[in-house]
Amino acid sequence: MDLVHPQLSAFTAVLEEGSFEAAARRLSISPSALSQRIKALEDRLGQVLVVRQAPCRPTAAGEVLLRRVRPMLALQAEALADLLPERGSDATRTPIPLAVNDDSLDTWFVAAIAELHQRHGYLFDLRMDDQDHTLELLRTGSVLGAVTAERRPLKGCNVHPLGAMRYRAIASPAFARRHFSAGMQAEALASAPMIVFNRKDELQWRFLRRLTRARMQPPVHYLPSSTGFVDAAARGLGWCLAPEALVTPAAEAGQIVVLEPRRWLDVPLFWQHAAVRSSTLQHITHALRTAAGNTLR
């Protein structure tokens, strides 16, 4: 049973699954029938909504529609659970799309969604990006909520503070002796290899600016893995910033050292979600704030 118009369900399914074939399989209809629904919706609105490439993505008009439809799907699932309790499990079969940064995913976030799954049966579709960029996924309607570094709420969204993730500068003991025997001075920082998550990651550069105003271009490794950061540092690949929750066990085991014990970088995190009266969002918000409170500062 689908309370949302079939054309809108087809529209969201295509964008979530990335192709007409996968969306048709999910909705148990033929790709031709699904294509007809999308075309009828576009004709009705007088605008192209889906860029028909691999993977399919929304046009600017499609993003506007997706932002409106996404909360409706959450409310539909709740309505089905209330009106048809014998089909309550059906209401939780569609994964809830959420955006989260990699460091949160590797430290506290999984504990929250595991509790939500056990208690409510929710499934999740997680989209990962840097905390400075996850909000774009919420802005385009790709997700229902996002863990973000942005404290200002998007239009039509609510925001909740989660706490601050503390980052420590680390390296292997041998790397620290070789490059930073006199501390993290500008000359040493200019030549010591640095590990960066990806080209969106500004944390290491932000820390460098705190240490010195000198302009430098140190050697850089790009390594898109939070847990891999600590392992790479322990193996002498370079120095980096890593979440304190991941640093502490490795430091206690002697695998890495904290390079500047009196200096760190705190990144405040926030949970933003569509501003609708939804028990699903209330449950998610409570679980995220509880789990974050056990790890973040």
pLDDT at position 92 over 60? no
| pLDDT tens digits along 124-170 | 989 888 877 888 888 888 888 999 999 999 888 899 999 999 999 99
Question: CA torsion sign, 237 to 239 to 241 to 242?
Answer: positive
Residue 220 parent element (H or E): strand 220-222
Specify the pLDDT at position 189. Answer: 94
Helix axes 6-17 and 31-45, enclosed angle (nearest 10): 110
| pLDDT tens digits along 25-64 | 888 889 899 899 988 888 888 888 888 888 888 888 888 8
- Among 63-77, 82-96, 143-157, the minimum mean pLDDT is found in 82-96
Helix axes 279-293 and 110-120, enclosed angle (nearest 10): 140
Specify the pLDDT at position 236. Answer: 95
Query: What is the spatial distance between Cα 236 and Cα 233, in angstroms, rounded to a whole number?
Result: 5
